[in-house]
Chain A
Amino acid sequence: MEEKQIYTISIYTENNVGILNRLSAIFLKRHINIESMTVSKSEIDNVHRFTFVVKLSETRARKIIGQLEKQIEVIRAFYHTEDEIIYQETALFKVSTEHLYDEEIQGRLKFRRANIVTITEHFFVLEASGLKEDIDRLYNKLKPYGLMQFVRSGRIAITRPKMAISELLQEIN
């Protein structure tokens, strides 16, 4: 059996209703769990970019790209290994204000890329961006203080290799 690894799949699509359904159905049909997903606009006007993180074999990843690109409104799809991309996630932590001056939290604020987004009488919200592991680490540190809420975004990723998407679009437009 070919080894599974984490792939980041970037998909450039038209900006229409229902595309997410069409894309996620391709993973569903093959019983592939989506680890994370982000949708946003891309560097090209009116073109959306989906970023999926999935764990699978390379053969599977290649075939999935074929199926994704086959969808009418998909312009191009790419898959990348971890070392081909620069990626980040963002997380928000809601913590009770009584812990604000704890040494641990102050230390985090100084040395880590964590910012206070808001402070109220009862709670404050920390924002942190980084790799999944960075955020996991921060999560584990803050957990003992009783996280009132925690949320993490899906991965966003930019590739090191060039994606010939802009040229392609110019060509077909």
Chain B
Amino acid sequence: MNTQTQTVPIDIGKKPSSIKTESISGAEAVIKCLLAEGVDLLYGYPGGAIMPIYDELYKFQDKLHHVLTRHEQGAAHAAQGYARVTGRVGVAMATSGPGATNLVTGIADAQIDSTPMVCITGQVASHLLGSDAFQETDIIGISTPVTKWNYQITKASEIPEIMAKAFYLARSGRPGPVLIDITKDAQFGEVDFSYKKCENVRSYKAVPEFNIDKIKEVAELINNAKKPFIVFGQGVILGQAEKEFKAFIEKADIPSASTLLGLSALESKHRLNVGLVGMHGHYAPNKLTNECDLLIAIGMRFDDRVTGNLETYAKQAKVIHFEIDPSEIDKNVKTDVAVLGDVKETLSEILSLVTIGNHKEWLQEFQKLYDIELEKVINDQLNPTKKGLTMGEVLGGINKETKGDAVIVSDVGQHQMFACRYADFIKTRSNVTSGGLGTMGFALPAAIGAKMGVPDREVIAIIGDGGYQMTIQELGTILQTDIAVKIVVLNNSFLGMVRQWQELFFDRRYASTVMKNPDFVKIAEGYGIEATSVSKREDLANAIKTMVASENSYFLEVVIEQEDNVFPMIPTGASVSDVRLS
């Protein structure tokens, strides 16, 4: 090889035509790729087909911290939690067969909630593929519908390029999960290692170019609108466009409501933040969706839980959609003008084109409806007079202690809706919840990942008694890592959301929603976590205070009113304007 460098002169000013390589194992190459991508933390669970990589993890443990979860699903959710609070790619690793299939729920969750994640799975040796070998499963086939991209590596030489592509695809454009399956012989094989970050895939356009004429058209619509209304989603957070978004709405003076995943992109108490849209969102934004003259959707995808019945959704309004993913345009709601592109760029462009707005009267309509909701729903939750504790007052208590400066990780169900409705957010990336997939069991492992992502922030998991028991084994991960996650279980001894539907739509036939629960305090203590349970209103504030003040992990069970309901509510198939207060 020296002869070549001697005979071919290299222009010193340019990149050398050959990159220096070294021969290493495929397994070591995987670790070096992770390091080259800036990964210093990953979650996983070892097993036969991924042992060569774990062996390398052992050697590189000072550079790359591997967190052993108690189940692969926990690893996937922890990687998601980490990604959601940091914006970086979360990494989860598992062995073949059951290890890989256990990741699937987390992968599907990351896909529907656009979370950047790379999952690495071990696979049986390539000569055994298709032979029904021990712990062989077709994880490529299984994960295809729920991944942004997936690939099976069967040769060590493929590792650097494929890993670079995996990270690029996971984080760029609309982020999502990528799964890389690596056969055991590829891990043992040799590769001349050199790493080049991927910046382009020819069949993939991460961000569509924006069209300035569309932006001008939109600006004109906004400038002429009497009752403009914004619904913003996670796109604002994923695009790191919080500042641009705020500057835009403040200048144009437009009331703005959040989707479930858009929460915390704009602080809860901002004067233009009119709350949450959707099935259990706030009264005013749902109701007034059908009264605005211009609906501006920003980085959101018109989920059915947001729109209710599409036949009666904002039919009176012109619709503008700011979106990075072209397939979302007109998917659910027909738009009048679509602005494709990165919201950080498109919102910056529009800022100079919109005139200073004044929608005082229109904003007052939101206030009026908020006051109705305050009286009929919110006050009863935050300052209840009934005997049983409410989920709302627990959130109220947490707000008081944290001043909104905590990451709230919620699971799925009634408590999630209370957490998302009542938690105060003052910082972006503070709301971590399973939105699209609605994965019970998400919160505990996601909170572990979130806390590791932002160790200096308070991270509080709000979980129901049902979802908690779906991934309760991750208390073991807390025990082993000593991570200071705060866990609040809102225990009503019911699968509360299903019970609520049974009460409202199935004549109170409580089929399999009653939960006989264990002693949660003893369980937490068994894992070395300080724990308390409260059931009386007079004890609540202190318990929350103690929990927040603790420097270690802490478990707080709050025994709450058994048959409380989340309102407002848009029943399935109803119109957003038919939102019920009771």
Task: Flag A17-41 by CB within 8 Å of B: 1 or 0 each.
Answer: 1100110010011000000000000
Q: Is the CB of A69 within 8 A of B149?
A: no
Cβ-defined partner of A70 (8 Å) among B151, B201, B325: B325
Question: A17-B152, A66-B331, A72-B149 in contact; A25/B144 too (CB < 8 A)?
Answer: yes
Q: Is B140 an interface residue (CB 8 A)?
A: yes
What residues of B have a CB within 8 angstroms of the CB of A67 in the complex? 327
Shortest CB-to-CB span from A79 to chain B, Å, is 14
Q: How far is the CA of A28 from the CA of B340 in the complex (A)?
A: 28
Q: Is the CB of A63 within 8 A of B331?
A: yes
Q: How far is the CA of A63 from the CA of B325 in the complex (A)?
A: 12
Shortest CB-to-CB span from B444 to chain A, Å, is 30
Q: Is the CB of A14 within 8 A of B203?
A: yes
Task: Flag B245-288 by CB within 8 Å of A: 1 or 0 each.
Answer: 00000000000000000000000000000000000000000000
Cβ-defined partner of B144 (8 Å) among A18, A74, A173: A18
Q: Is B326 an interface residue (CB 8 A)?
A: yes
Q: Is the CB of B326 within 8 A of A75?
A: no
Q: Is the CB of A21 within 8 A of B203?
A: no
Choose among A14, A21, A63, A70 the residue with the greatest number of B CB atoms under 10 Å from its CB.
Answer: A70
Q: How far is the CA of A66 from the CA of B151 in the complex (A)?
A: 22
Q: Is the CB of A25 within 8 A of B327?
A: no
Question: A17-B152, A66-B327, A67-B327 in contact; A29/B145 too (CB < 8 A)?
Answer: yes
What residues of B have a CB within 8 angstroms of the CB of A69 in the complex? 326-327
Q: Is the CB of B145 within 8 A of A25?
A: yes
Task: Flag B126-164 by CB within 8 Å of A: 1 or 0 each.
Answer: 000000000000001100110011111000000000000
Q: Is A151 an interface residue (CB 8 A)?
A: no
Question: A66-B326, A70-B325 in contact; A21/B204 too (CB < 8 A)?
Answer: no
What residues of A have a CB within 8 angstroms of the CB of B140 in the complex? 18, 21
B interface, over-half SS: mixed
What residues of A have a CB within 8 angstroms of the CB of B330 in the complex? 62-63
Q: Is the CB of A75 within 8 A of B203?
A: yes
What residues of B have a CB within 8 angstroms of the CB of A75 in the complex? 202-203
Q: Is B100 an interface residue (CB 8 A)?
A: no
Name which residue of chain A comes closest to B328, CB basis. A66
Q: Is the CB of A22 within 8 A of B144?
A: yes
Choose among A29, A72, A75 the residue with the greatest number of B CB atoms under 10 Å from its CB.
Answer: A72
What residues of A have a CB within 8 angstroms of the CB of B148 in the complex? 72
Q: Is B119 an interface residue (CB 8 A)?
A: no
Q: Is the CB of B327 within 8 A of A70?
A: yes
Shortest CB-to-CB span from A137 to chain B, Å, is 39
Q: Is the CB of B327 within 8 A of A63?
A: yes
Q: How far is the CA of A173 from the CA of B149 in the complex (A)?
A: 21
Q: Is the CB of B327 within 8 A of A72?
A: no
What residues of B have a CB within 8 angstroms of the CB of A63 in the complex? 327, 330-331
Q: Is A1 an interface residue (CB 8 A)?
A: no
What residues of B have a CB within 8 angstroms of the CB of A74 in the complex? 203
Cβ-defined partner of A21 (8 Å) among B141, B325, B326: B141
**Interface residue ranges of A25-78 to B (CB < 8 Å):** 25, 28-29, 62-63, 66-67, 69-70, 72-75
Q: Is B450 an interface residue (CB 8 A)?
A: no
Task: Flag B305-348 by CB within 8 Å of A: 1 or 0 each.
Answer: 00000000000000000000111111100000000000000000
Name which residue of chain A comes closest to B204, CB basis. A72
What residues of A have a CB within 8 angstroms of the CB of B202 in the complex? 75, 169, 172-173
Shortest CB-to-CB span from A33 to chain B, Å, is 17
Q: How far is the CA of A22 from the CA of B325 in the complex (A)?
A: 18
Name which residue of chain A comes closest to B149, CB basis. A72
Name which residue of chain A comes closest to B331, CB basis. A63
Q: Is B300 an interface residue (CB 8 A)?
A: no
Choose among B325, B326, B327 the residue with the greatest number of A CB atoms under 10 Å from its CB.
Answer: B327
Q: How far is the CA of A173 from the CA of B200 in the complex (A)?
A: 10
Q: Is B556 an interface residue (CB 8 A)?
A: no
Q: How far is the CA of A29 from the CA of B144 in the complex (A)?
A: 12
Task: Flag A152-173 by CB within 8 Å of B: 1 or 0 each.
Answer: 0000000000000000010011
Cβ-defined partner of A73 (8 Å) among B145, B203, B327: B203
Name which residue of chain B comes closest to A74, CB basis. B203
Task: Flag A134-155 by CB within 8 Å of B: 1 or 0 each.
Answer: 0000000000000000000000
Name which residue of chain B comes closest to A23, CB basis. B144
Q: Is the CB of A21 within 8 A of B327?
A: no
Name which residue of chain A comes closest to B201, CB basis. A72
Q: How far is the CA of A128 from the CA of B119 in the complex (A)?
A: 49
Name which residue of chain B comes closest to A75, CB basis. B203
Shortest CB-to-CB span from B324 to chain A, Å, is 11
Q: How far is the CA of A69 from the CA of B331 in the complex (A)?
A: 14
Q: Is B169 an interface residue (CB 8 A)?
A: yes
Q: Is the CB of A21 within 8 A of B144?
A: yes
Q: Is A13 an interface residue (CB 8 A)?
A: yes
What residues of A have a CB within 8 angstroms of the CB of B201 in the complex? 72
Shortest CB-to-CB span from B40 to chain A, Å, is 27
Q: How far is the CA of A13 from the CA of B149 in the complex (A)?
A: 14
Cβ-defined partner of A72 (8 Å) among B169, B326, B328: B169
**Interface residue ranges of B347-370 to A (CB < 8 Å):** none
Q: How far is the CA of A25 from the CA of B203 in the complex (A)?
A: 19
What residues of B have a CB within 8 angstroms of the CB of A73 in the complex? 149, 203-204
Q: How far is the CA of A18 from the CA of B328 in the complex (A)?
A: 24
Q: How far is the CA of A70 from the CA of B151 in the complex (A)?
A: 17
**Interface residue ranges of B175-212 to A (CB < 8 Å):** 201-204
What residues of A have a CB within 8 angstroms of the CB of B326 in the complex? 66, 69-70
Shortest CB-to-CB span from A64 to chain B, Å, is 10
What residues of B have a CB within 8 angstroms of the CB of A21 in the complex? 140-141, 144
Shortest CB-to-CB span from B364 to chain A, Å, is 39
**Interface residue ranges of B491-525 to A (CB < 8 Å):** none
Q: How far is the CA of A69 from the CA of B203 in the complex (A)?
A: 9
Q: How far is the CA of A156 from the CA of B329 in the complex (A)?
A: 30
Q: How far is the CA of A106 from the CA of B329 in the complex (A)?
A: 56
What residues of B have a CB within 8 angstroms of the CB of A173 in the complex? 202
What residues of A have a CB within 8 angstroms of the CB of B152 in the complex? 17-18
Q: How far is the CA of A75 from the CA of B201 in the complex (A)?
A: 10
Shortest CB-to-CB span from A49 to chain B, Å, is 13
Can you name 4 extra interface pairs (CB under 8 A) apart from A72-B203, A169-B202?
Answer: A14-B203, A18-B150, A74-B203, A172-B203
B-to-A contact residues, CB < 8 Å: 140-141, 144-145, 148-152, 169, 201-204, 325-331
26 A-B pairs in the complex with CB atoms less than 8 angstroms apart: A13-B203, A17-B152, A18-B140, A18-B144, A18-B152, A22-B144, A22-B145, A25-B145, A28-B145, A63-B327, A63-B331, A66-B326, A66-B327, A66-B329, A66-B331, A69-B326, A72-B148, A72-B201, A72-B203, A73-B203, A74-B203, A75-B202, A75-B203, A169-B202, A172-B202, A172-B203
